């Protein structure tokens, strides 16, 4: 197996296992994909629906079928000549519950645990209550309340000979050093534990003592002693509660309410999720331990490539990717015959959000991103730029909010930093404050002034993070850092500017006493010495020595970068995108809602850059993380073409449903105060867009069961959207009353009695714009399947994808329906034969099947062929996008209708422009194709270029998209 020709993403969990996927291998192969691409396969938290909460890197998840199930799956894939790409999660592990042995180890032994340096824990917290401890913010209420309520209890594990603290599903070990104090009621049991310390040399003796306790505790006397000990620590009595509390205070963790995490957590989490702990994969021993299974499976030929999750969370993404690449290539020579890579490279892509104009670092040695950048490009291309201003004005008018997304994003950044990630901000500030104290010129910089400077830099940061080389910002880093620096200087008081400038220097600027010669080499060797020293000191049980000044700066840079990326993700994707609703089709992962549209020329430029830098990057338009399905976005994007009609419709619906609004006391409200009713104008406007986007084309207003099922799905989205917006309610402090009022409003407007009112109007409106949405959907499908890169198909989206945010986009897929329809399609011929079935999505399935078949038939043409934008001339040239793929004597031309509203007309009920409407619009084809007959891979059309011109009336006569090739389509 070499670089994938195309991939199909599958979300594995206990309801969809390796065996379930194996049973579909023949369908995937018939569809035309070359590789299955699956969610993480390492053991995750029991019941996980996504696999990103890994608790054991060393085993294939038994809920998925274990390693045996994986082998059966791969056997089926190999039988149909398919490969397997797996998602890996190097950044974080699940640390809730009791399933993570590495995390349990540090809870038990603290900083002397063998895995103490596997997690990113600050063992030197300025809080005396946390020095040498781990904050465990897993309690559902305050510590005092939970202790008083008897929910925190001492328990004994009979099979292990160990005492633990139990709290619902959480288990916290009691350090064996404290067993003598626990055994006051049975001093004879304490002898084996007397004199123990937390030093590594004593930990094996503690394990032996616990093993002996298993036998002793099985005797009659031992059982009585254990029962007495548990009774003495029972929270049901004041004395037991006090004793239990004192025992807890001696542990290497501090139990706390989950709400304390944002302000006090002393270990890096994944964003603000307190059950996911950051892993220090930059340490060689951690890298080796966390990747051993994946490397073995790769060597044995079970997997063929990897997708790296959340690469920006890592301390050193560049070094990680380089190390990963080097190890995979080293192991590739050991793979079974027939599976070795003919091009000498193993497929490796990273999940990375790129801002407009931000390149992926070339020296990472990866094959590209997982495709969010392409999803952003093609999504923006679907929008009519003429709709930007009127729709922004409409949003501002009906909500009273700013018309600019940038304003909403800035406010969200401040909120997230202050309320969700303040502990991480403090940690960066402390790192910089230590540097300041070490120099006479900066020793008077206060913690508070440094914190202000760092906070403003983070708030103003235009990209996820920077990637200094040798501790110094690159020219590319400097481009983005300087933007944040300039914006921060404009906001901060003049008195803070000197601190701000110095902070900027520490965060990767060139210091006066540094010379560029050998700087990167010296930095790396010094870093290696620091790590070796840490290992030696840990083995000797010594406290770490103060790091060098260069190491301190490097550590501060890492902490800063590990703060800017989660702030960007949480503030933009998970907050502002749920607050701003000019058109929510642009509110997507990896997109900037402030960038409303993209020109055809800009789209071409992006494709040409990709083919030059990362020709094998993934191309996606739907993912397990998307906020709304690809065809939901495509239909909502159509509103940009009819802004005036949408404005009138939105106002009409709002007026129609005014009596159903919920007032401050839960009753109907007709108040003009936009803050005095539920759901409120912004949430109501986004709700209407959502209903327009996801309303099935085959759903009738009088189908009570169907409408109710849809409403339940929309209600799930609505609840998440309201909480993510963090305005009237939130995950942190939910307002259940407000949430119920919003849900009631939704179900009232789609109630059966509205079938002749709002429901009929909604259905009629969707019927009118449905063809526009379908044109957009087929356009983005064709572009994904023919652009430079590796097209990725998310599970089930070969039919219309009207899903919403998770968990809706992870619902079970009806593969049997797809398998049956695919068989029927194969019998009927080209996709154009399915135009009568455009509403149920069969035409999309047919396009996917045929385009993937062409990629297989002309593999080198699409894998290595050049990308040639084609000029479109004539009266409707702005309503077409066209380009050619060319290699050797082979050509393939992709043509798609775009912004079709003025050409379809209000009464057109199919997603196809009538041939005569194209008039003189024509594509200028390459000279090699002048006067040649071309065959449409998607229809029976056989258009012929009239010299240099290929008229759209011929090329797009029966389908809104075309994929033209010469007869025979010779392989390159």
**For residue 520, is pLDDT > 50?**
no
- pLDDT, position 6: 97
Residue matched to tokens 């600019």: 404
Q: Is residue 152 part of a domain?
A: yes
**Residues whose CB is less than 8 angstroms from the CB of residue 429 and which lie 6 or more positions away in sequence, other chains included:** 447, 450, 451, 454
CATH number of residue 265's parent domain:
3.30.1590.10
The pLDDT of residue 538 is above 90: no
- Strand residue runs (E) in 17-82: 35-38, 42-44, 54-60
Give the model's pLDDT for residue 344: 53
Question: Which of 627, 556, 620 has its CA nearest to residue 586?
Answer: 627
Distance of CA 87 to the CA centre of its chain: 12
Interval 893-919: pLDDT, tens: 999 999 999 999 777 799 999 999 999
The verdict on residue 793 lying in a domain is no
Task: Tell me, yes or no, whether 778 lies in a domain.
Answer: no
Of 545, 578, 611, which marks where a domain is finished?
A: 578
Distances (CA, A) of 812 to 5, 13, 470, 881: 26, 11, 47, 35
In this prediction, residue 675 has a pLDDT band, given cuts at 50, 70 and 90, of low
Residue 91 has pLDDT above 60, yes or no: yes
What pLDDT score does 968 carry? 58
Q: Is residue 807 part of a domain?
A: no
pLDDT tier for residue 190 given thresholds of 50, 70 and 90: confident
How many of the other CB atoms lie within 10 Å of CB of 81? 10
pLDDT band, residue 187 (cuts 50/70/90): confident
The mean pLDDT value for 824-849 works out to 94
pLDDT of residue 690 exceeding 80: yes
Distances (CA, A) of 762 to 121, 184, 638: 53, 72, 15
Q: Give the DSSP per-residue string, 637-651.
A: HGGGG-HHHHHHHHH
Provide the residue range defining the domain that includes 525: 403-578
Tell me how far apart the alpha carbons of residues 421 and 571 are, in angstroms, rounded to a whole number: 11
pLDDT at 757: 93
Number of domains in the chain: 5
Cα separation of 254 and 257, whole Å? 10
527 pLDDT band (50/70/90 cuts)? low
Is residue 457 domain-shared with residue 423, that is, in the same domain?
yes
Q: Residue 515 has what pLDDT?
A: 44
Tokens 């209890």 correspond to 153
How far apart, in whole angstroms, are the C-alpha atoms of residue 581 and residue 399? 10
Cβ atoms 948, 927 nearer than 8 A: yes
Phi-psi category of residue 545: left, alpha or beta, with phi > 0 → left and psi -120 to 50 → alpha? beta
d(CA 377, CA 380): 5
Mean of the pLDDT values across residues 411-439? 96
Same domain, 518 and 666: no
Q: Is residue 791 part of a domain?
A: no
**Domain co-membership, 140 together with 179:** yes
Q: At what angle do helices 549-568 and 405-419 cross, to 10 degrees?
A: 120
Question: Is 338 in the same domain as 483?
Answer: no
695: pLDDT strictly greater than 80 = yes
Bridge partners, 346 (sequence order): none
Distance CA 408, CA 281 (A): 35
DSSP 8-state class, residue 569 = I
Alpha-carbon distances, residue 564 vs 161, 321, 557 (angstroms): 45, 20, 11
Q: Which CATH number belongs to the domain containing residue 713 in this structure?
A: 1.10.10.470
Q: Using 50, 70 and 90 to split pLDDT, how confident is the model at 174?
A: very high
Strand duo 790-794 + 866-869: pairing? unpaired
How high is the pLDDT of residue 472?
94
Residue 556 phi, psi (nearest 5): -65, -40
Q: Verify that 313 and 228 share a domain, yes or no.
A: no
Question: Is there a domain that residue 782 lies in?
Answer: no
Confidence of residue 544 (pLDDT cuts 50, 70, 90): low
pLDDT tens column, 32-57: 999 999 999 999 999 999 999 999 99
- Domain with residue 901: its CATH number is 2.60.40.1180
Alpha carbons 329 and 466: distance in angstroms, whole number: 27
Nearest to 430 by CA among 411, 406, 413, 451: 451
Among candidate residues 767, 794, 824, the one where a domain is terminated: 767
Q: What are phi and psi of 420, to 5 degrees?
A: -110, -30
Same-domain check for residues 529 and 490: yes
Specify whether 701 is located in the same domain as 595.
yes
pLDDT range class, residue 521, cuts 50, 70, 90: very low
> What's the whole-number mean pLDDT along residues 792-796?
98
Mean pLDDT, the chain, rounded, equals 93
Q: For residues 785 and 793, give the distance between their C-alpha atoms in angstroms, rounded to a whole number.
A: 9
Q: Look up the CATH number of the domain holding residue 63.
A: 3.20.20.80
What integer is the mean pLDDT of 366-387?
98
Neighbouring CB atoms inside 10 A of 480's CB total 20
Q: pLDDT-based confidence at 519, cuts 50/70/90?
A: very low
The CA-atom distances, in angstroms, between 530 and each of 519, 554, 555, 730 are 16, 12, 12, 43
**Does residue 874 or residue 669 have the better pLDDT?**
874
Q: Is 861's pLDDT higher than 80?
A: yes
Q: Per-residue pLDDT for 669 more than 60?
A: no
Domain shared by 627 and 709, yes or no: yes
Cβ atoms within 10 Å, residue 151? 15
In whole angstroms, what is the distance from residue 154 CA to residue 151 CA?
10
Which of 962, 550, 555, 526 has the alpha carbon at shortest distance from 786?
962
208 burial type by CB count under 10 A (0-12 exposed, 13-18 middle, 19+ buried): exposed
Q: Which residue has the tokens 């509203």?
A: 901
For residue 828, what pLDDT is reported?
Answer: 86
**Is residue 518 pLDDT above 70, yes or no?**
no
User: How crowded is the C-beta side of 81, counted as CA atoms within 13 Å?
Assistant: 8
Token duo for residue 815: 């593969």
Same domain, 457 and 508: yes
Pick from 270, 291, 312: which residue ends a domain? 270
Decide if 786 is inside a domain.
Answer: no
Q: Say yes or no to pLDDT of 217 above 90.
A: no
Whether 934 is covered by a domain: the verdict is yes
670: pLDDT strictly greater than 90: no
Shared-domain flag, residues 823 and 944? yes
pTM above 0.85, yes or no: yes
Structure confidence by residue, pLDDT tens digits, 151-170: 999 999 999 999 999 999 89
Q: Are residues 514 and 590 in the same domain?
A: no
pLDDT at 189: 84
> Is there a single domain that holds both residue 606 and residue 737?
yes
Going by pLDDT thresholds of 50, 70 and 90, the confidence category of residue 543 is low
CB atoms within 10 A of CB 835: 18
Cα first-last separation, the chain: 19
Percent of the chain with pLDDT over 90: 87
């Amino acid at each position: 197996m070499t670089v994938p020709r195309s991939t199909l993403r599958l979300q594995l969990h206990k309801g969809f296992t390796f065996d379930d996927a194996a049973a579909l291998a023949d369908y995937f192969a018939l569809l035309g994909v070359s590789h299955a691409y699956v969610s993480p396969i390492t053991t995750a938290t029991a019941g996980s629906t996504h696999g990103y909460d890994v608790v054991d890197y060393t085993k294939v998840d038994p809920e998925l079928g274990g390693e045996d199930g994986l082998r059966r799956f791969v056997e089926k894939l190999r039988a149909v000549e398919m490969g397997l790409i797996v998602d890996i999660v190097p950044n974080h592990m699940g640390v809730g519950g009791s399933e993570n042995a590495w995390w349990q180890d540090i809870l038990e032994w603290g900083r002397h645990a063998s895995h103490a340096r596997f997690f990113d824990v600050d063992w030197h917290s300025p809080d005396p209550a946390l020095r040498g401890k781990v904050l465990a913010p897993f309690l559902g209420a305050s510590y005092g309340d939970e202790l008083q309520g008897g929910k925190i209890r001492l328990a004994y594990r009979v099979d292990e000979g160990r005492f633990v603290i139990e709290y619902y599903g959480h288990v916290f070990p009691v350090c064996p050093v404290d067993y003598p104090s626990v055994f006051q009621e049975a001093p004879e049991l304490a002898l084996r534990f007397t004199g123990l310390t937390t030093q590594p040399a004593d930990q094996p003796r503690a394990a032996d003592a616990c093993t002996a306790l298993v036998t002793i505790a099985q005797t009659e006397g031992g059982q009585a002693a254990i029962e007495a000990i548990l009774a003495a620590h029972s929270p049901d009595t004041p004395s037991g509660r006090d004793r239990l509390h004192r025992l807890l205070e001696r542990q290497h963790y501090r139990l706390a309410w989950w709400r304390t995490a944002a302000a006090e957590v002393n270990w890096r989490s994944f964003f603000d999720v307190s059950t996911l702990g950051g892993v220090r994969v930059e340490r060689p021993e951690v890298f080796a331990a966390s990747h051993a299974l994946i490397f073995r499976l790769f060597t044995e030929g079970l997997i063929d490539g990897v997708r790296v999750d959340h690469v920006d969370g890592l301390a050193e993404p560049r070094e990680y990717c380089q190390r990963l690449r080097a190890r995979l290539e080293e192991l590739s020579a050991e793979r079974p015959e027939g599976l070795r890579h003919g091009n000498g490279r193993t497929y490796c892509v990273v999940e990375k959000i790129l801002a407009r104009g931000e390149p992926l670092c070339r020296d990472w040695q990866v094959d590209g991103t997982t495709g969010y950048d392409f999803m952003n490009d093609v999504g923006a291309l679907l929008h009519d730029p003429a709709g930007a201003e009127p729709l922004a004005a409409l949003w501002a008018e009906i909500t009273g909010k700013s018309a600019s997304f940038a304003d909403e994003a800035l406010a969200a950044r401040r909120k997230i930093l202050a309320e969700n990630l303040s502990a991480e901000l403090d940690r960066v500030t402390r790192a910089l404050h230590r540097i300041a104290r070490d120099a006479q010129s900066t020793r008077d910089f206060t913690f508070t002034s440094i914190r202000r400077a760092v906070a403003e830099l983070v708030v103003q940061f235009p990209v996820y993070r920077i990637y200094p080389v040798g501790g110094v910002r690159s020219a590319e880093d400097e481009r983005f850092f300087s933007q944040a620096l300039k914006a921060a200087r404009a906001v901060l008081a003049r008195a803070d500017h000197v601190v701000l400038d110095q902070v900027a220097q520490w965060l990767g600027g060139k210091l006066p006493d540094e010379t560029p010669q050998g700087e990167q080499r010296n930095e790396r060797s010094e870093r290696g010495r620091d790590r070796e020293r840490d290992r030696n000191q840990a083995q000797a049980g010594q406290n770490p020595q103060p790091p060098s000044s260069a190491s301190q700066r490097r550590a501060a840079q890492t902490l800063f970068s590990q703060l800017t990326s989660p702030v960007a993700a949480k503030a933009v994707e998970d907050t502002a995108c749920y607050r701003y609703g000019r058109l929510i089709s642009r509110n997507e992962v990896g997109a900037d809602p402030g960038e409303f549209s993209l020109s055809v020329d800009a789209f071409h430029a992006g494709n040409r850059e990709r083919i030059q830098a990362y020709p094998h990057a993934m191309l996606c338009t739907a993912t397990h993380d998307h906020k709304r399905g690809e065809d939901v976005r495509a239909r909502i994007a159509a509103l940009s073409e009819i802004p005036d009609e949408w404005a009138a419709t939105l106002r009409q619906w709002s007026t129609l449903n005014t009596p159903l609004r919920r007032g401050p006391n839960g009753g109907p409200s007709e108040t003009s105060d936009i803050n005095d009713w539920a759901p409120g104008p912004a949430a109501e406007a986004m709700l209407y867009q959502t209903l327009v986007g996801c309303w099935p084309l085959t759903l009738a207003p009088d189908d009570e069961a169907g409408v109710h099922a849809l409403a339940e799905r929309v209600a799930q989205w609505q609840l998440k959207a309201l909480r993510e917006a963090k305005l009237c309610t939130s995950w942190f402090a939910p307002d259940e009353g407000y949430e119920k009022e919003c849900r009631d409003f939704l179900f009232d407007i789609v109630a059966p009695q509205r079938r002749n009112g709002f429901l009929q109007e909604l259905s009629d409106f969707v019927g009118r714009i449905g063809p526009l949405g379908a044109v957009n959907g087929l356009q983005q499908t064709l572009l994904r399947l023919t652009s430079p890169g590796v097209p990725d198909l998310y599970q089930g989206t070969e039919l219309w994808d009207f899903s919403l945010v998770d968990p809706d986009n992870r619902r079970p897929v009806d593969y049997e329906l797809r398998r049956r329809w695919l068989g029927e399609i194969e019998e009927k011929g080209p996709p154009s034969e399915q135009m009568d079935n455009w509403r149920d999505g069969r035409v999309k399935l047919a396009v996917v099947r045929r385009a993937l078949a062409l990629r297989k038939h002309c593999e080198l043409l699409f894998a290595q062929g050049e990308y040639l934008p084609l000029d479109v001339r004539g009266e409707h040239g702005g309503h077409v996008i066209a380009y050619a793929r060319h290699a050797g004597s082979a050509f393939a031309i992709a043509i798609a209708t775009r912004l079709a509203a003025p050409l379809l007309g209000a009464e057109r009920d199919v997603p196809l422009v009538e041939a005569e409407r194209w008039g003189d619009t024509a594509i200028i084809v390459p000279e090699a194709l002048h006067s040649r007959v071309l065959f449409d891979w998607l229809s029976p059309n056989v258009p012929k270029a009239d010299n240099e011109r290929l008229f759209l009336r011929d090329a797009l006569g029966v389908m809104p998209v075309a994929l033209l090739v010469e007869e025979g389509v010779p392989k390159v």
